[in-house]
Amino acid sequence: MRELITAVDIGTTKIVALVGEKDEKGNVTILTKGTVPTPPKSVKRGVVLNIETVSDAIRQAVRLAEEKSEFQFKEVYIGIAGQHIKSIQNSHSIYIDNEDHKITQADVDKMTSEIKSISLEPGQEIIDIIPQNFKVDMENGVDHPVGFHGKKLTGNYHIIIGEKTSAKNIKRCLELIDIQPKTLYLEPIASSEAVLTDEEKEAGVALIDIGGGTTDIAVFYDGILRHTAVIPFGGNVITKDIKEAYHILNKHAENLKVECGTALSEFAKKDSVAVIPGINGRDQKEIDLAELSKVIQARMEEIIEIINFELLNSGYRDKLGAGIALTGGGALLENLPQLIKYKTGLDVKVSRPPESVSTGGARMNSPKLSTAVGLILLGFENADTFDFSSVKKRRRKKDKKSAERKETSTGSIKSLLNKFSESAKQITFDFFSEEDTEFEE
């Protein structure tokens, strides 16, 4: 029997559903993907603002993934993030009262369970607890206390906290489409699972996941998660800066950033412009690419300053032997690794999910998919048993309209490629069609 699960990543700009499979050897591959744009003003900085529109978008993404995989799912693994996420360090002690004072796994579990009762601010809840190290009587720095003899066991913990309402809203989005959340995982932890190796985590590495609404940070050292943080700025703030600087539509600003943008103005194309069509018959605009890069670099430098502050605040800034692992859609901004290295002095690498997760000719190793792939990997890793009742075979129906849409889409893609081929021969860059000149609602 096939072991199949699905995961959903709710982002500020897109919602991704993946179907993953694990074979008898334990190898995990991603079978199918469903991606839909996040409805406008529905998710802000990782937090759901409109339950109904997000729920419908999740339904569409899951349905796309299901149709390709030929299976239906009642449960999903899902990520949680947002600027409401906080982390604290805390310690707790228990006394070992058995006859020979030998510490057992039950003692460690008891202490970890008791740490859950710490005082929190109203409306907050614990999302995850990560043990850092232990102390047995006067012996510090114990990684694995089971088997030690002692009267007092103390544990140091990294505790991740979030708003209850955020988790409830995510669960409600799923309930509206008759899907149950199997487990909620912190998104930077999921991304780490997809792109970091055990060697990187041991040497010391900072994962920087730049999404649309937030930039997530996870610092590892000696193989243990030591620090997490969420910066309430992501790629969307750069898009907004471009929009306001040139008084253009948001979709045009996003295209400029993706197609023409660079994080280092010195590498911008000199004497080149991007042409933005006029709105409703107005004159077109020409955007100088060198000036555009200055707008992008200014905002990226601000984000990097906050990243550097968080790394210093973690206490592990000088222990990052593997430097920075950059992932998320924002990692694809041209020359961003060079800018981060220049500003932080740390080695920087764009990190992707491994090629091994791709199957059937579909590439799933884009930095944009790091969180979703990580959710699949965590789902399989932490599943004690596989619940076959949560998956059923999907009945396939031939849809004439769907075939017509596919044919139309193929024709549109060919047309777009031909158009791009012609424009690429020109010195002036024009990435926009006339139909892009109308305002979006």
Residue ranges and CATH numbers for the domains of the chain are 86-160 (3.30.1490.110), 198-350+417-441 (3.30.420.40)
Q: Which residue has the tokens 């070992």?
A: 96
pLDDT of residue 384: 58
Of 10-14, 304-308, 353-357, 423-427, least confident by mean pLDDT is 423-427
pLDDT of residue 46: 86
Using 50, 70 and 90 to split pLDDT, how confident is the model at 440? very low
Instruction: Evaluate if residue 106 carries a pLDDT over 60.
Output: yes
What would the pLDDT profile of 31-61 be if each residue is shown by its tens digit? 999 999 999 999 998 899 999 999 999 999 9
Of all residues in the chain, what percent carry a pLDDT higher than 90?
73
Using 50, 70 and 90 to split pLDDT, how confident is the model at 398? very low
pLDDT of residue 363: 77
Instruction: Evaluate if residue 1 carries a pLDDT over 90.
Output: no
Contact assessment for residue 261 and residue 420, using Cβ atoms and an 8 Å cutoff: no
What would the pLDDT profile of 142-173 be if each residue is shown by its tens digit? 999 999 999 999 999 999 999 999 999 999 99
Instruction: Evaluate if residue 433 carries a pLDDT over 70.
Output: no
CA atoms within 13 A on the CB side of 32: 17
Instruction: Evaluate if residue 390 carries a pLDDT over 90.
Output: no
pLDDT of residue 439: 35
Of all residues in the chain, what percent carry a pLDDT higher than 70?
85
Phi, psi of 325 (to 5 degrees): -105, 110
**103 or 409: which carries more pLDDT confidence?**
103
Contact assessment for residue 333 and residue 239, using Cβ atoms and an 8 Å cutoff: no
pLDDT of residue 25: 87
Instruction: Evaluate if residue 129 carries a pLDDT over 80.
Output: yes
pLDDT of residue 428: 38
Using 50, 70 and 90 to split pLDDT, how confident is the model at 2? confident
Instruction: Evaluate if residue 13 carries a pLDDT over 60.
Output: yes
- Mean pLDDT, to the nearest integer, of 252-275? 93
- When the pLDDT of each residue in the chain is averaged and rounded to a whole number, the result is 87
What would the pLDDT profile of 308-330 be if each residue is shown by its tens digit? 999 999 999 999 999 999 999 99
- Mean pLDDT, to the nearest integer, of 288-293? 96
pLDDT of residue 391: 59
- Mean pLDDT, to the nearest integer, of 242-263? 95
- Mean pLDDT, to the nearest integer, of 334-350? 97
Most confident by average pLDDT, 121-130, 193-202, 385-394, 416-425: 193-202
Overall size of the chain counted in residues: 441
Using 50, 70 and 90 to split pLDDT, how confident is the model at 386? low
User: Which pTM does this prediction carry?
Assistant: 0.83
Contact assessment for residue 212 and residue 12, using Cβ atoms and an 8 Å cutoff: yes
Using 50, 70 and 90 to split pLDDT, how confident is the model at 98? confident
**385 or 155: which carries more pLDDT confidence?**
155
Using 50, 70 and 90 to split pLDDT, how confident is the model at 393? low
pLDDT of residue 392: 58
User: Among 4, 160, 134, which Cα is nearest to 76's?
Assistant: 4
- Mean pLDDT, to the nearest integer, of 359-387? 83
Contact assessment for residue 229 and residue 87, using Cβ atoms and an 8 Å cutoff: yes
What would the pLDDT profile of 56-77 be if each residue is shown by its tens digit? 999 999 999 998 888 889 999 9
pLDDT of residue 271: 85
